[in-house]
């Protein structure tokens, strides 16, 4: 990921942090352990508040556990987050510190924009992530932990994400993958309305596919996950049933379509397990989509009759129409994100200038009112002379101090002349104050 603006220009974002673990940086078992369920968020956010975070929100999804926060201190912020995440678990904080990504300032802003636009997802352009961000934002706001600093950043990221979805074809990638999966399912089973879909493990792609299968007529979904809290959340999202992960052999026997999304390096389904399920189904076929990285399904399954195993690469190869224009869409999405970030930072700079202008005007007004109180009967000539003298006193002293320390460079001189000396007077001369 590249920042589009240097960190030196980002003082308004100096306290912005993004700290987390995702599908690329952290093994699934650790993400499983530190997953923060909805019911645990109030206590977790309160813990962050107590260790110095003035604002914070948590995205705890199948693919990432991520904290976006405001912290103005100089402490090791990532260590504080690691401690908060691991305290309720058997894992020690030091075990996850090396896996945490930590962005600050513009890099944090860029990451937030990219996540909202689904440029950091396993499948670029997947539609669920923006809804997940919004839900996390709403919850943090309801708990009083998303305020004046996080709010504008998140709102701006939503605007950028909307532009990406409306001005590019980036959403066609996930759509084409799911369309390919649905075509295969129909070729094996016919109408989806009578099919039973089982999920072993849950990630964002599995949720997306489950929702799309439902939109295409599938009515019955069963979800199993090694983390019961994750299965419960997914079941709520899809109005699905929950089954114990350890009894997955029984679930397999009922499944016409199987989505596997563990990716923890262990086969969730082996050939013997599936052979037993096929016998129980009286050889009625099973369409298996292996979303795991590494694989969740033993490759030996492919040798079984009536088992049709596809992974993401297989589905991408079927979705050639979506694949052909995907890179162009991603490039255009990157351009939009960089443009929106530059616009946001430009707005921050403008707001800073406006604040400074207000401050200067207020200072001049205070001097004017002080003078009127001290010299209520001064004539115009005397009053303006005294006011000019007072307004120039502090900058004059500051310039003399800079000169005495040999710090009065040409840039400062040029700036002072541009501010105070009319263009048609004293060009090239050093002013006396």
Question: Percentage of residues in the chain with pLDDT exceeding 70?
Answer: 91
The answer, yes or no, to whether residue 198 has pLDDT greater than 60, is yes
Average pLDDT over residues 188-210: 91
Question: In this model, does residue 23 exceed pLDDT 70?
Answer: yes
Tell whether 371 is covered by a domain. Answer: no
Q: Would you tell me the crossing angle of helices 150-167 and 105-116 to the nearest 10 degrees?
A: 40
85 versus 412: which is more confidently predicted?
A: 85
Nearby residues of 370 by Cβ (< 8 Å), 6 or more positions away: none
Position 359 in a domain: no
Look at residue 210 and tell me whether its pLDDT is greater than 70. yes
For the cut 70, the answer to whether the pLDDT of residue 323 exceeds it is: no
d(CA 48, CA 57): 10
Residue 369 domain-assigned?
Answer: no
Residues 319 and 329 in one domain: no
- Each residue of 236-269: pLDDT tens digit? 989 999 999 999 989 999 999 999 988 777 889 9
In a domain, 361, yes or no: no
Residues with catalytic function: 62
> Are residue 283 and residue 411 in the same domain, yes or no?
no
Element (H or E) spanning 197, and its range? strand 196-200
164 and 206 assigned to the same domain: no
Same domain, 153 and 189: no
| Structural domain for 405, as ranges | 377-433
- Are 47 and 183 in a shared domain? no
> Distance between terminal CA atoms of the chain?
50
Distance CA 208, CA 178 (A): 8
- Residue 46 shares a structural domain with residue 147: yes
User: What's the average model confidence in pLDDT over 201-222?
Assistant: 90
Tell me how far apart the alpha carbons of residues 376 and 23 are, in angstroms, rounded to a whole number: 72
- pLDDT band at residue 136 under the 50/70/90 scheme: very high
pLDDT category at 140 given cuts 50, 70, 90 is very high
Domain total in the chain: 3
In a domain, 357, yes or no: no
Nearest Cα neighbor of 203 from 266, 96, 291, 101 is 291
Q: What is the pLDDT of residue 354?
A: 64
Q: Identify whether residues 109 and 23 lie together within a single domain.
A: yes
Q: How confident is the model at residue 227 (pLDDT cuts 50, 70, 90)?
A: confident
Mean pLDDT value across residues 346-356: 68
* 317 in the same domain as 397: no
Band of pLDDT at residue 407, cut at 50, 70 and 90: confident
Q: Is the pLDDT of residue 1 over 60?
A: no
pLDDT for residue 309: 94
| Per-residue pLDDT at 233 exceeds 50 | yes
Structure tokens at 66: 């991520």
Same domain, 212 and 265: yes
When mean pLDDT is compared over 1-5, 33-37, 133-137, 323-327, the highest value belongs to: 133-137
- Residue 85, SS3? helix
- Clarify whether residues 189 and 64 are in a common domain: no
Question: Which of 333, 349, 365 lies at the terminal end of a domain, its last residue?
Answer: 349
Per-residue pLDDT at 180: 87
Identify whether residues 216 and 302 lie together within a single domain.
Answer: yes
Q: For the chain, give the mean pLDDT.
A: 85
pLDDT value of position 4? 42
Q: Which residue has the higher pLDDT, 240 or 121?
A: 240
């Amino acid at each position: 990921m590249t920042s589009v603006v240097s960190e030196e220009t980002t003082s308004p974002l100096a306290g912005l942090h993004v700290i987390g673990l995702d599908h690329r940086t952290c093994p699934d078992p650790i993400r499983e352990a530190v997953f923060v369920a909805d019911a645990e968020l109030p206590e977790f956010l309160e813990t962050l508040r107590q260790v110095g975070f003035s604002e914070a929100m948590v995205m705890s999804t199948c693919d990432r556990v991520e904290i976006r926060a405001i912290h103005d201190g100089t402490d090791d912020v990532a260590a504080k987050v690691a401690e908060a995440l691991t305290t309720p678990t058997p894992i020690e904080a030091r075990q996850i510190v090396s896996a945490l990504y930590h962005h600050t300032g513009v890099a944090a802003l860029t990451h937030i924009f990219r996540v909202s636009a689904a440029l950091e997802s396993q499948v670029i352009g997947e539609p669920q992530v923006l809804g997940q961000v919004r839900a996390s934002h709403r919850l943090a706001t309801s708990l009083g932990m998303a305020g004046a600093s996080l709010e504008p950043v998140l709102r701006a990221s939503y605007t950028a994400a909307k532009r990406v979805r409306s001005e590019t074809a980036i959403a066609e990638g996930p759509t084409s993958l799911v369309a390919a999966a649905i075509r295969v399912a129909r070729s094996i089973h016919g109408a989806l309305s009578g099919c039973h879909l089982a999920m072993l493990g849950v990630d964002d792609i599995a949720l997306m596919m489950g929702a799309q299968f439902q939109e295409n007529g599938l009515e019955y979904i069963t979800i199993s996950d090694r983390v019961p809290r994750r299965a419960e959340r997914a079941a709520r999202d899809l109005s699905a049933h929950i089954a114990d992960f350890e009894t997955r052999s029984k679930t397999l026997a009922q499944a016409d379509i199987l989505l596997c999304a563990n990716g923890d390096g262990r086969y969730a389904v082996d050939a013997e397990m599936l052979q037993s399920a096929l016998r129980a189904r009286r050889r009625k076929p099973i369409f298996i989509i292996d979303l795991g990285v590494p694989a969740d399904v033993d490759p030996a399954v492919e040798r079984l009759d009536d088992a049709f195993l596809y992974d993401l690469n297989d589905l991408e190869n079927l979705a050639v129409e979506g694949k052909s224009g995907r890179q162009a869409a991603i490039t255009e999405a990157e351009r939009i994100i960089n443009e929106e970030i530059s616009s946001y930072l430009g707005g921050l700079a403008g707001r800073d200038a406006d604040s400074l202008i207000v401050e200067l005007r207020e200072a001049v007004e205070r001097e004017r009112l002080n003078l009127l109180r001290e010299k209520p009967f001064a004539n115009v000539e005397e009053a303006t002379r005294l006011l000019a003298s007072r307004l120039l006193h502090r900058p004059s002293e500051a310039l003399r101090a800079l000169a005495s320390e040999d710090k009065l460079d040409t840039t400062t001189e040029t700036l002072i002349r541009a501010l105070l000396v009319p263009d048609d007077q004293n060009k090239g001369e050093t002013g006396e104050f």
